[in-house]
Structure 1
Amino acid sequence: MKEAIVLYPSPAIGHLISMVELGKLLLTHRPSLSIHILITNQAYDAGSTTAYIASVSGTLPSIAFHYFPTTTLPPDYSTTSPHHETLALELLRLNNPNVRRALTTISENYVVRGLIIDFFCVAAITIAHELNIPCYYFVTSGAGYLNFFLYVPTLHDKFAKSFKDFDAPIDVPGTPPLPPSDVAKPMQDRYDEAYKGFLDSSLKMQTSAGIIVDTFEKLELRAIRAIMDGECVPGGPTPPLYCIGPLISSREGDDGGSPECLTWLDLQPRGSVVFLCFGSLGVFSVEQLKEIATGLERSGQRFLWVVRNPIKTMPGIPDPDLGSLLPDGFLERTKERGLVINKWAPQVAVLSHGSVGGFVTHCGWNSVLEALCAGVPMLAWPLYAEQRHNRVLLVQEMRIALPVDELEDGRVSSDEVEKRVRELMESEEGKTVRERALAMKEEATAALSPGGSSWSALAGLIESWKRE
């Protein structure tokens, strides 16, 4: 019988893309594998996946998508948690019968070598254990975040208070001390449903057949060593760790042509442009957009800025034009050195362009790795999820980014934007992170090459299936 691997991502587009890239990577090492991806509906709008799945299906017949029936939360479901992650965890738990059905059906025609789950999909590990299928976690963040995630049960037992009530930085093996305010919001309150869900996921991770991480050895040497030495699970076993990254999507999106922004970049001097892009959920208030615009204008730097419209319009009514969201005359005054585009840019192609010399990012892990593989230094401006945690790692541990600091109310001032953009492009600190980013680009290429650390880790993972 043919061998299969079943992948079960969280339905958000960023998590799905990483999981598909993992599937593609497995196929490069073991082309005879059949990859099956389980698709469930989203608990909240985290970006449409339809066009992306269609493009993958059209080009990769070895990857099959299995759509679950739409699952909804029961009418009497209620939670006091303000975090949408709580809804996602609950919806994925309710999908367990669908997971069982899919695994049973796939097993009729294939030898299923493993179920690889996103850490949101923790509920499925019990189904895998019942069906005697090895279950692996796939972590779509880096090893530095995984350290914390594995260490949460230890912190939970050691301290009787929530992270939000800590008055000193949190010590986690293998990473810099973490300010309590930089712990992801759903993890801040130990009595919150979201926190309990992630604590449960961390405990169950210890019972998995292995942890696959989208990172590479030279990028996070200290964090990886702490995990492998068992420091993050002092009271129990740490599953085998497979650092197989960086996984970079070659997806360039929704239009086949060469977008205007690439044509514009062709006309700019080498390494002169700051690219600002904040991910699929990165929407700012009009007030914050104006602060960014003012800071960019005063910085004197060339820029390419992707703006998502913060004003929700009714279906059929066009979005307001960009000029109305930005300071009066801004587009006219900066047209010689700046380009503002609506909603979307081909991020991988932009970052790889020779004219781009810096990246203002929300610190989503996919974006971080894309910048790193292009050798582009970053300004770290986190917005949600584990991104504040990533900022600490990018700035202090990896030293490939400079921080953007918020005001008390969470906004970033135009003065801060101006100062940091200049610093990245002109100062000695900027030069240092640029050199470090270029060095990590080389290390990433080496890790993925035959015999490199990530290549070898993936070969080790596939070898472990033969022994099952």
Structure 2
Amino acid sequence: MKETIVLYPTPAMGHLVSIVELSKLILHHYPHQFSVTILLTTGLLDTPATTSYTNRISQTHPSIVFHRFPPLCNPPSLEPTPNYSLTAIAFEFIRLNNPNVLQALQTISETSIIRAFIIDFFCTSALHVASNLSIPTYYFFTSGAAALAAFLYFPTIHAQTTQSFKGLATTDLHFPGLPPIRASRLPEPVLDRADKAYLDFLYFTAHLPKAKGIIVNTFELLEPTAIKAVTSGLCVPDAPTPPVYYIGPLIADPDDRTGEGGHAGAHECLSWLDTQPSQSVVFLCFGSQGTFSVAQMKEIASGLEKSGQRFLWVVRSPPVEDHIKHFFEPENPDLDLLLPEGFLARIKGRGLVVKSWAPQVEVLNHDSVGGFVTHCGWNSVLEAVCAGVPMVAWPLYAEQHMNKAVLVEDLKLAMPIEQSEDGFVSSAEVETRLRALMASSEGKESRQRSREMKEKAWVAWSDGGSSLVAFSKLTEIWRQG
């Protein structure tokens, strides 16, 4: 029988891209030993962007097989309640797909030996499904070692208080291997103990040590402090920490996402960058779900204009009350309504605003780009690191505040944006940070450190590099069965 690796991602774009890159890595090194199948839910979490992406991967990488589950007969309601948020609904949707996971694993096992089942952190509910079939199950952690350290330690933090973290706004929490994190800056699912999502998150983190191993998209020279904390057992004080394999950086292949969603701005922005001086442009992009109010966008625009810096800014539509519509429907932001009157005319030549999406990897690697204002999503962080581009850290959601703390305080690869408690940033702060990044001695030092880290990223996957060694150890286990 042939041998196969089965992967099960959360179908959000950032998680899906990372799983695909891991699949490509496995097939690149073992094209004749392993086949790869990626399990995908159908329904609630599908978006035009993810559907377009998986269709493109199927065409360009036919050796990656997508196994789509049938739709659920009774999917959860999309109407959130005070104690049942949209996040909790998404977690419930994934849990309700467990029978589909079981059916898929049993079907695949009829013709193949499953050497490993690799699940996303948010797919933890499938862990016992594979365990009952005696299939070795691993986590693929799509963020970095700092977030892993915090998540492993979260059950300990949970036991230290009975209050909701959103009520501990000024309290600093201490996770092994991380700078102090303000309680209110934790990922949204854990802020309110009354929300079902909190219990789900606690369940996920408590089960991390129960896997055969944890695969992490980072590399040792990028996050040595957090990795040391995990390795020494500080993050799971009452149980053994499973083997952890740091095999990053895995970043998106630009060819797989070119023209995502049909956005014409992709080629426009690259052509515009060709006309700009070397290292002169600040790139502002906040991920597939990073949105701002109209008031915040106007502040950003004002700060950009006053800074005098050249810039490329990706603008998404502001959030609306109908969160479901915003998440699932293609957007077409009206720049004339969202930006200050006359802004586009005044910055013409010095700045460019594109709608919704830009080819981020290609932009970051363009010679004209000298800085990156980012939400600190882990894929974006790795893409900037691999391009050697210094960052301004503007976290918005999920574990991004943790990533910011490490980037700013430990690695000094980023400058912080100062945010009010509700996350708002003034135009003066935008202006100050952009000037500091592009024209100060501190920015120059950050740029030099970023170039040095870029070299370390490539060393990780060279002969004898830490990521190649870790990947070889992992796959040797699979090959031995």
TM interval, shorter chain, is over 0.9
- List gaps (5 residues or longer) in structure 2: none
| C-alpha distance in structure 1 between counterparts of 2:391 and 2:79, whole Å | 42
Question: Is residue 400 of structure 2 the alignment partner of residue 399 of structure 1?
Answer: no
Q: Does 1:92 align with 2:94?
A: yes
Check conservation: 1:42, 1:88, Cα contact below 8 A: no
In the alignment, the residues of structure 1 paired with residue 479 and residue 331 of structure 2 have an alpha-carbon distance, to the nearest angstrom, of 55
Aligned residues: 468
Q: CA deviation at 1:82?
A: 5.3
Alignment of 1:26-37 (within 5 A): 26-32=26-32, 33-37=34-38
Pair 1:3-2:3 in alignment: yes
Question: How big is the shift at 1:429?
Answer: 1.7
Q: Deviations over 1:383-426 (max 9, x none)?
A: 11111221112111221111111224421111111011111111
Q: Tell whether the 8 Å contact from 1:252 to 1:349 is kept in structure 2 after alignment.
A: no
Percent identical among aligned pairs is 55
CA contact (8 A) 1:13 1:47 kept: no
Q: TM-score, normalised by structure 2?
A: 0.92
* Aligned positions of 1:72-221 closer than 5 A: 72-74=74-76, 80-81=82-83, 83-166=85-168, 167-221=170-224
Cα distance in structure 1, aligned partners of 2:214 and 2:330? 46
- Deviation per residue, 1:11-53 (Å, 9 max, x gap): 1111111100010111122112110000103545666311111
2:40 counterpart residue number: 39
**3-state DSSP class of the match of 1:294?**
helix
Matched residue, 2:355: 342
How many angstroms does 1:74 deviate by?
Answer: 4.5
Question: Is the 8 Å Cα contact of residues 273 and 302 (structure 1) preserved in structure 2?
Answer: yes
1:60 counterpart residue number: 61
1:98–1:339 Cα change, 3 Å: same
Question: Who is 1:301 aligned against?
Answer: 309
Partner Cα separation in structure 2 for residue 202 and residue 407 of structure 1: 29
Paired residue secondary structure (2:295) = helix
- CA deviation digits over 1:74-123, x for unaligned, max 9? 46997543532211111111000000000000111111001100011011
CA RMSD across the alignment: 2.3
- 1:290 corresponds to: 298
In structure 2, relative to structure 1, the CA distance for the partners of 1:290 and 1:165 (3 Å cut) is: closer
Counterpart amino acid of 1:70? Answer: P
Q: Distance in 2 between matches of 1:320 and 1:247?
A: 31
For residues 309-334 of structure 1, the C-alpha deviation after alignment (integer angstroms, 9 at most, x for no partner) is 22879999994642332111111111
> Helix, strand or coil: the match of 2:70?
coil
* Counterpart residue identity of residue 146, structure 1: L
2:267 equivalent to 1:254: no
The one of 450, 455, 459 equivalent to 1:446 is: 459
1:206 deviates by 1.1
Asked whether 1:431 is paired with 2:444, we answer: yes
Unaligned runs of 5+ in 1: none
Q: What SS does the corresponding residue of 2:49 show, helix, strand or coil?
A: coil
Task: Identify if the C-alpha distance between structure 1 residues 60 and 225 changes in structure 2 by more than 3 Å, giving closer, same or farther.
Answer: same
Q: Are positions 1:371 and 2:379 aligned together?
A: no
Aligned-pair CA distance for 1:207: 0.9
Q: TM-score, normalised by structure 1?
A: 0.95
Measured after TM superposition, the shift of residue 157 of structure 1 is 2.3
- Structure 1 residue ranges, 4+ long, deviating more than 4 angstroms after superposition: 44-47, 74-79, 255-258, 311-320
